[in-house]
Amino acid sequence: MKTLTFYSYKGGTGRSLLLANAARYLALLDQRVVAVDFDFEAPGLHYKLNISPPGQRTADAIPRRGAVDYLLASAQGDGPPRTLLDYVVPVPLPRGTKGSLHLMPAGSAPTGDYWRALTALLRQDLFTDPQGNRIAACLELKARIEEELQADFLLIDSSTGVTELAGVTTTVLADTVVCLMLATEESQAGARAVLRSLRHAARLAGQPPVEMIPVLSRVPEHDDSTVRETLSFLNEPGPTLEDTLALGKLFVLRTDPDLARGESAHVGSGESQSRSQLYQDYLALFSELAETGMKG
């Protein structure tokens, strides 16, 4: 199972929407895909993947439980929950698709029950304890996704910024980190610092170094100079040779108001959007993700 963590230092990059489209793309390639919403403070992947029944508004489809509930049950109970099926939701795909897509949402957000469960989970110090229980709990969840759901790909929507939870999802859990950034100094400086840290991040025994795929989002069409300047900035010499990135390619997501406004998945939806530059950008990136995952 290949694990891809989608991360952004700052918000506004369209990270969750990108992950939702990537998940559908991989499922349409006959892959078994599981998406997990680890953005606990701002969950919304269930909106992007639109798990609502036909005829129901997307905003009205509230999951019953998810990752927060699973981890809380593991922390408070005698052991992990008996089955993952109570914590995941199947995502509808076009008829005839041989692949599958399941979503483990953060939980029943935005209800009061969700925020109470998240508060209780944070009180467990699951992500800050010095004994490493946070790592064990998350690794156990990852292993169960691979075993019980027979996943080929695990896609994780990480929390924004530098947090304990983001550290777990980008270092210990991830095989590849898809790092999104904007064409602003703050966003790019933060992203570069995180990418540099990933070069020498602590990994479990036997784990290879984290692969990094940088993505520049919300770029106006025909603005190639910003792309070149961003890649040059990311590759500037660091304090040490180990801190210096040597990124050969920067993927770009162009601005497309018509496609981005809907804030829902479009790949495989049957809509004719092949002329959209953003849609083509999606496909170029997803092809790289698929090749990276399948070669492993």
User: 150 in helix, strand or coil?
Assistant: coil
Q: How many CB atoms sit inside 10 A of residue 168's CB? A: 23
Order of all β-strands in the sheet with 32-37:
89-90, 100-104, 32-37, 153-157, 2-8, 176-181, 211-219, 251-254
Distance between CA atoms of residues 280 and 115, nearest Å: 38
Q: How many CB atoms sit inside 10 A of residue 171's CB? A: 19
Distance between CA atoms of residues 67 and 80, nearest Å: 12
* Token pair belonging to 133: 């229980």
Which has the minimum average pLDDT: 99-113, 259-273, 276-290?
A: 259-273
Instruction: Judge contact between 48 and 263, C-beta under 8 A.
Output: yes
Average pLDDT over residues 59-82: 82
Burial of 179 (0-12, 13-18, 19+ CB in 10 A): buried
Which has the minimum average pLDDT: 11-15, 65-69, 198-202?
A: 198-202
Q: How many CB atoms sit inside 10 A of residue 139's CB? A: 15
Query: In the chain, what is the greatest distance between 2 CA atoms, to the nearest angstrom?
Result: 57
Q: Domains, the chain, ranges and CATH?
A: 2-295 (3.40.50.300)
- pLDDT value for 290: 93
Which has the minimum average pLDDT: 68-77, 190-199, 250-259?
A: 250-259
pLDDT band at 296 (very low <50, low <70, confident <90, very high): low
pLDDT tops 80 at residue 255? yes
pLDDT tops 90 at residue 42? yes
Report helix angle 67-76 to 112-123, nearest 10: 40
Distance between CA atoms of residues 29 and 55, nearest Å: 28
Quote the mean pLDDT of the chain.
87
